[in-house]
A and B are shown apart, each in its own frame.
Chain A
Amino acid sequence: MAGSNSTECLRLDGIDALRKGRVVLSDVSFTVCNKEIVSIIGPNGAGKSTLFDVITGFLKPSAGRMYFQGRDITTLTPDRRCHLGIARTFQIARPFSGMTAVENVIAALIFGKPSTKVNKFGDPWVRDRAMEHLKMVGIHHKANTPACLLTLSEQRRLEVARALATDPSLLLLDEFAAGLSPQAIDEALALIESLRSRGLTLLIIDHFLNVTVRVSDRLVAVDKGRVVAEGAVKKVLEHPAVVSAYLGI
């Protein structure tokens, strides 16, 4: 029953989802525990991003339930889920282009958690907090640059800063390491470790296995909308279904 396991963070129970009438997820069930780092792997078009859309409320599942901290969130809209503590980044960064980097983060600070009402809009404290988040992802020197002028990698960091500013307990990172240089990947992994040490639960989509397997506690392998393997990193990577999904045999 929901909430029976106190360390359970997120549980998906038989999720089916359709996109434009086509089945993109069928009977997806898995559990993420608090403070865990779980990576979702799978080939292109396996349904990884769709899974994120379902978890964050952007796509309504056609069947199944999901629970966050024991609470049924199946019918909640994305903003409500954000308020409960689920934050995400997008596969293709979606900054508020006309706003500066720090304004992007300020907006997330103000609207991310209505319970801790930051209603003193324009308060220097809010700006300081926003700067801390930018510093954490290493783009504080670009705080006053319009988001549309940031490089792709900076935009992606900005997305992480913005997601963190909503004060989540579960953070979903979509294709976090895609397109990063080897050095940038090392930095990204250091960031992930520091997020874990702050007590966050992380769910990461990664197409390239070599990146996230280094920090993940567990893997969930998805192929053609189904979970084909789940468990310890080594076990999943050697699973015949995963091998065949990646090699196409």
Chain B
Amino acid sequence: MKQEVAKATLGVVLIIGLSLLFMWKFQGREDVISVIAMAFLFASVAFAWNIHALSGVVSLGHAAFFGLGAYGSALFAYYFKVGSWIILLVGGTIALGCAVVWHLFFEQLRGGAYTLATFAAAEIVRVVVDNWDSLTMGSSGLTNIVVLFSGTSEFYLVTMVLVIIAFLIHWAALKTCWGLQLRTVREDELAAYAIGVNPPRVRMVSLFVSAFITGLCGAIFVHRVTYLEPSMVFNLHISAMPLVFSFLGGRFTTMGPLIGAFLLYSVDQILLSPFLPSTHQAVYGFAIVITVSFMPNGICAWLARIPQNASG
């Protein structure tokens, strides 16, 4: 345990160190800093997604949390004329509300049925937001959303803090008692029940934590880009991205989702996007195929040669 705490501390130091190094190295290159900041943001979503996945289910609907966080925060700022950081929490809370509904309806589902249900649930949210013109402005979207971050550097530092928080919670979901609970639940729910773990509660907590962080990320995202329309946040790409990052980096490693996000998102945005503006996203599909075929436990596990970890 002490060893694991030391590793987590090392991880945090590493993230801060590398972030500051990048900031210094790419001084004046706002575009690069901006891409790294977005990589941190989506790494946080990937951590959040994986916290949920560690309870033994795969979600393809995290765009619902991300989008509701974005819309919730943006609309709250608009209607109540609030311009402080507190609105980020509103975004997280609204995503959490959506997670409560998920929990009520999907609690009995497992495996493919659960994944399909989450996918459909995100679509339902998109359709509602798209058509509720009087509240959300519908498909015409929102513009001039409150700016919360004075510049790229500030946004960069905020996403750095965000990714550190997400990293620590994700670490806890792997290495602490809570992590052991999640593991027993994903290995065998009935057996977990029989040794005194309450699988429904464990799954619920992991979903709620995951949804809140994802909503928070959506809110931070929207106050950076300052405009919003349903197709920007409620799309399969947003749902699939954290999945791809987690699988690529390593779902059972504490750093996996961050490394996956960092490698793939940066490569995609800096190297591919300028040359292949319309097809660069194919790299995500490519990455998932390569990972599943050759490194089923992700890059981190592949590098460390960690023995196979059952996915449940």
Contact = CB atoms under 8 A, between A and B. Distances in A.
Given A58-B190, A90-B191, A122-B1, A96 B183 contact: yes
Contacts of B181: 111
Given A90-B191, A96-B184, A83 B196 contact: yes
Given A121-B177, A121-B180, A111 B188 contact: no
B176 interface: yes
Contact of B194 (A110, A146, A163): A163
Of A56, A83, A114, A121, chain B has the most CB atoms within 10 Å of the CB of A121
B187 interface: yes
Contacts of B309: 98
Given A107-B195, A111-B195, A122-B4, A94 B180 contact: no
B198 interface: yes
A220 B190 CA distance: 26
Interface residues of A, number: 35
27 contacts: A78-B194, A79-B197, A82-B193, A88-B194, A90-B191, A94-B194, A96-B187, A96-B188, A97-B187, A98-B310, A99-B183, A99-B187, A106-B180, A107-B183, A108-B196, A110-B180, A111-B181, A111-B184, A111-B196, A112-B196, A121-B1, A121-B176, A121-B177, A122-B1, A123-B1, A165-B195, A166-B196
Interface in A40-63: 56, 58
A77 interface: yes
Interface in B143-163: none
A56 B190 CA distance: 11
Of A90, A96, A106, A108, chain B has the most CB atoms within 10 Å of the CB of A96
A110 B180 CA distance: 9
* Overall SS of chain A's interface: mixed
B293 interface: no
A219 to B, nearest CB: 25
Interface string B296-312: 00000000000111111
B63 to A, nearest CB: 30
Contacts of A79: 193, 196-198
Nearest to A108: B195
A139 interface: no
B184 A148 contact: no
A95 interface: yes
B186 to A, nearest CB: 9
Contacts of A94: 188, 190-191, 194
B196 A97 contact: no
Given A98-B309, A119-B177, A122-B4, A87 B187 contact: no
Contacts of A95: 188, 191
B290 to A, nearest CB: 24
B296 to A, nearest CB: 13
Nearest to B1: A122
Interface string A122-138: 11000000000000000
Given A111-B181, A122-B4, A82 B188 contact: no
A130 B73 CA distance: 49
A207 interface: no
Interface in A139-193: 146, 148, 162-163, 165-166
A52 to B, nearest CB: 10
A77 B181 CA distance: 16
B312 A98 contact: yes
A190 B37 CA distance: 64
Contacts of A119: 177
A218 to B, nearest CB: 25
B312 A90 contact: no
Contacts of B4: 122
Interface string B1-17: 11010000000000000
A113 interface: yes
